[in-house]
Amino acid sequence: MLGALAVVAAALALFVWLKPPKTQGPAIALSSSKSAEAKSIKVEREGKPLATLQKQGALWQLTAPLKAPADDFQVARLLAVLEAKSAASYAPDLAKFELEAPRAVLEIDGERYVFGAVNTVTREQYVLTRGTVYAVDARFGAAVPAAAAALARRTLFAPGDAPVKFEMGAFSIAQDAMKWTITPATELSQDNTNRWVAQWREGSALRAEPADAQPAQRELAFTLKDGTRVAVGVVASDPELVLRRADIGLQFVYAGDIGRQMLAPPPLQK
């Protein structure tokens, strides 16, 4: 249920964000490419490489400077420039449109979109692509984040990862023949445990951020269905829960009340 609600909420947010703004006059398409067909993205910010992403199968992955699943909503925001339309086009005067030192650059399948000055009156930003400058809604440039971690999926596990054992220190929970059991042994509510597992597997963190060097308070271990073991460090538990995945160079920050529920056993069978 938790996962389904998260998917619905994300889909609604994406629909609202991608709703095209109204343009004055004839609409000029910046690109003939389609976002659904894109395979690679390179992101630059203030003249420096920020991130690269590759589509692997049906999913987008961050490949540099982090190796982690990418957030679908954030990727869609970047790719939205392919569907952008402008009411005006201009000759490429780099100085006039502040494109000599661009604020951001997106390269999608080799096609570059260079973001320059913002018109404070119309709230449009000037974008250079294929030798022409266009004026587009400023939200396309605003979609380029300040840090690569903002493009990462905000879940502890990647799509398709299925934890079947949770080693939490004071207790452990494992799935055996479609039933969850807990050690030390007591009677579990399967419904409550399924919700607890769903929060770990699919629950969205408040944010993902680069892993820091702060020592972990303790270590948790998770075994996936395919046998892979994943180590997770508890960096902080109050006022927010901070969980570190050192293997992908990220840590995930959860609200304090959610964090307390995650670290405690699921409510027992009454």
Give the residue extent of every domain in the chain.
Answer: 9-151, 163-263
- Whole-angstrom Cα distance, residue 201 to residue 111? 36
End-to-end Cα spacing for the chain: 21
- Whether 168 and 88 have beta carbons less than 8 Å apart is answered as no
- Whole-angstrom Cα distance, residue 21 to residue 48? 29
Q: Record the pTM.
A: 0.84
Backbone angles phi, psi at 140, to 5 degrees: -65, -40
Burial letters 76-106, b for 16+ CB under 10 A, else e: bbbbbbbebbbbbeeeeeeeebebeebbbbb
Q: Could you report the per-residue pLDDT of 166-200, keeping only the tens digit for each?
A: 999 999 999 988 899 999 988 899 999 999 999 99
Q: Could you report the per-residue pLDDT of 32-68, keeping only the tens digit for each?
A: 999 999 999 999 999 999 999 999 999 999 999 999 9
Burial letters 148-162, b for 16+ CB under 10 A, else e: bbbbbbbbbbeeebe
Q: Could you report the per-residue pLDDT of 243-263, keeping only the tens digit for each?
A: 999 999 999 999 999 999 999
- Whole-angstrom Cα distance, residue 82 to residue 222? 40
- The Cβ of residue 171 has, within 10 Å, a number of other Cβ atoms equal to 13
